[in-house]
Structure 1
Amino acid sequence: MEGLAASIEQMEKTMTTYGREIVIAFAVIVVGLILIKWINIGLKKAFSKLPISSARGATIRNVLCVLMLAVLVTFAAIELGIAAGPVMRFLSILTLTAIGMIVVFRPLIPTLPFKVGTTIKAGDLLGKVEATTVLNTRLRTFDGKTVFIPNRIILNDVIINYHFTPTRRFELKINILYDQDLMKAKQILETIMVEDPRVHPTPRPIVYLMSLNKGFVELSGRGWADNLKRFVVTRELLEKTKFRFDQEGIAMALPQMQVHYTSKNMPQLNTEG
Structure 2
Amino acid sequence: MDKNLDYWIDQAIVFGTTYGLKVIAAIAIWIVGSWVIKKIARGATKIMENRDYELSLQKFLINLINALLKILLVITLLGTLGVPTTQFAAIIAAAGLAIGLALQGSLGNFAGGILLMIFKPIKIGDFIEAQGQSGTVKEIQIFTTKLNTTDNKEVIIPNGALSNGNIVNYSVEDTRRVDFTFGVGYDSDIKKTKEVLFGVINSHPLVLKDPATAVNVSELADSSINFFTRAWVKKEDYWTVKFDVIEQTKEALDAAGIDIPYPHQVEIHKEG
Q: TM-score range by the shorter chain?
A: 0.5 to 0.7
Q: Which residue of 2 aligns with 1:245?
A: 253
Count of residues paired in the alignment:
174
Question: Which structure 2 residue ranges, 5 or more long, are not aligned?
Answer: 1-31, 54-110
Q: Which residue of 1 aligns with 2:225?
A: 217
Residue 245 of structure 1, CA deviation: 0.9
Please state whether the residue corresponding to 2:115 is helix, strand or coil.
coil
Question: Which structure 1 residue ranges, 5 or more long, are not aligned?
Answer: 1-88, 257-268
Q: Which residue of 1 aligns with 2:126?
A: 118
Whether the 8 Å contact between 1:206 and 1:221 is mirrored in structure 2 is yes
Whether the 8 Å contact between 2:200 and 2:245 is mirrored in structure 1 is yes
Q: 1:99 pairs with 30, 34, 42, which one?
A: 42
Pick closer, same or farther for the CA change 1:180–1:137 going to 2, 3 Å. Answer: same
Q: Which residue of 2 aligns with 1:202?
A: 210
Q: Which residue of 2 aligns with 1:165?
A: 173
Please state whether the residue corresponding to 1:110 is helix, strand or coil.
helix
Pick closer, same or farther for the CA change 1:93–1:236 going to 2, 3 Å. Answer: same
Pick closer, same or farther for the CA change 1:135–1:272 going to 2, 3 Å. Answer: closer
Residue 99 of structure 1, CA deviation: 3.4
More moved, 148-157 vs 135-144: 135-144
Write the letter of the residue equivalent to 2:207: V
The TM-score, its normalising length taken from structure 2, stands at: 0.57
Q: C-alpha separation between the residues in 2 aligned to 1:233 and 1:271?
A: 49
Please state whether the residue corresponding to 1:203 is helix, strand or coil.
coil
Is it true that 1:230 corresponds to 2:238 in the alignment? yes
Q: 2:137 pairs with 114, 129, 133, which one?
A: 129
Deviations 1:141-182 (A, max 9, x none): 223321211111110110111111111101121100000111
Q: C-alpha separation between the residues in 2 aligned to 1:200 and 1:110?
A: 36
Whether the 8 Å contact between 2:131 and 2:161 is mirrored in structure 1 is no
Matches within 5 A, 1:5-44: none
Please state whether the residue corresponding to 1:168 is helix, strand or coil.
strand
Q: Which residue of 1 aligns with 2:195?
A: 187
Residue 92 of structure 1, CA deviation: 8.0
Please state whether the residue corresponding to 1:169 is helix, strand or coil.
strand
Is it true that 1:153 corresponds to 2:153 in the alignment? no
Please state whether the residue corresponding to 1:97 is helix, strand or coil.
helix
Q: C-alpha separation between the residues in 2 aligned to 1:272 and 1:173?
A: 43
